[in-house]
Amino acid sequence: MTFATEPAVIPADELERRPHDIFRHHRPLAPLVRREDGVYMAIRAKDVETLATDPRTRQLETEIVFSRGVSDGPLYDFFNSSMLLSNGPLHRRRRAPFARVFALKLITEMRPRIRAIADELIEQNYTRGEMDFITDFAAPMPARVISEILGLPAADIPSFTHHVYNLARSLSSAFSRDDVPELQNSAQELSNYVRKLLDERRAQPRVDFLTACMGAVNAANEQSQVETIMQIVTLILAGSDTTRGAGAIQTSLLLQHREQWDAICKDPALIPGAVSESMRYEPAVGSFARFTLQEVEIDGWVVPPNRVLSLSTLAAMRDPQLYSDPDRFDITRGDHPRRHMIFGAGSHRCLGEALAKAELEEQLAALTQRLPQLQLAGPPPVIRGNGGIRSVRNMRVRWTLPGP
């Protein structure tokens, strides 16, 4: 039996201001809500898990940029050519040459270097007794790590991260037509940057990921130059932006739950649980978008074909059917699923899962050991966005310096 009524339409400002309250209210009533822009949102954990690999849906491709009036240019090339936004054999072909860079063995071997980067960033700011946590630590941390993995010059980090963080807005629920000119520019700048890097590797091959990757791409002879460029752009974006947000969010949450921060300072074995719980409680990725290929019925409610269906991790990871007392932040929680929902599912499960966990764990280890007295210097940061990549703003921290 299907329902005659449409799911509740949630005003955009309400969804932005208090998403958890909205989802908590509607979750027992229906498996779906709708945003004002017409996007359906699945808000129950069991549905988010199953729909992520449901053959009646596919990964979103160019639908979002088309809806913003974009049908050409570098921003369109990113959506049209990225492994992130492709399906089936095309997705597998684009992803395969790049998969080994994020192999667990490689990331495990990198952990000491990841920790060293975190320690270096703390040391650069230590004598000041305070810092802008996002600008001075959370943003440069993943950018430096991905630059070392890909062999990018350290001097290029400020420029490419600026454009990466701009481009990431195109994968956010807040993406609007007004953003298009700036995002076209950032997509163009990143494309030019990667093209220059690849030209340099062709002229002077090195023993690094980019050179090896070009060899694999050339051997397969299956990717155009634009595709190759956009896969590298995707890796730079994925390896920089989401971990920036997640690092700031987890530190803020722990500092707001002081007893749990202090517990980690005393027992570093709690760190993996703290990372998992922070990603659950306030995820840096609020949803994954799917596109319905046919009518999809969920407990009697229907999503029509050819619609965008947002799988809300923000809602699902506070679902009491999956987690006990889900609105309680608890780093000792024992009911996390074996595979964390934040990293997606199926063939599109996040390529950088092991890297993200390593970065978040190592930066938390560095902070709790070097700055156990760390505290927020002002209100908690503002987390914006209810879907896609969420943004985090305004987070200052301080610590006590030892006396003379």
Is residue 404 in some structural domain? no
Is residue 38 in some structural domain? yes
The per-residue pLDDT for 3 is: 56
Query: DSSP state, 235?
Result: H
pLDDT tens for each residue of 139-188: 999 989 988 887 888 888 888 888 888 888 888 877 889 999 999 999 99
Of 79-83, 241-245, 290-294, 323-327, the poorest mean pLDDT is in 241-245
Q: Which domain covers residue 79, as residue numbers?
A: 9-398
Which CATH number covers residue 325? 1.10.630.10
The per-residue pLDDT for 281 is: 98
pLDDT tens for each residue of 210-266: 787 777 777 666 778 888 888 888 888 877 778 899 999 999 999 999 999 999 999
Which of residues 332 and 208 earns the better pLDDT score? Answer: 332
DSSP 327-377: TS--TT-----SS-GGG--GGGS-TTHHHHHHHHHHHHHHHHHH-TT-EES
pLDDT tens for each residue of 67-97: 899 999 999 999 999 998 999 999 988 888 7
Is residue 403 in some structural domain? no
**The whole model's pTM is what?**
0.91
Q: Which residues contact 25 (CB under 8 A, 6 or more apart)?
A: none
Residue 337 has pLDDT above 60, yes or no: yes
Is residue 2 in some structural domain? no
Number of domains the chain is built from: 1
What is d(CA 191, CA 81) in angstroms, rounded to the nearest whole number? 12
pLDDT band for position 1 (cuts 50, 70, 90): low
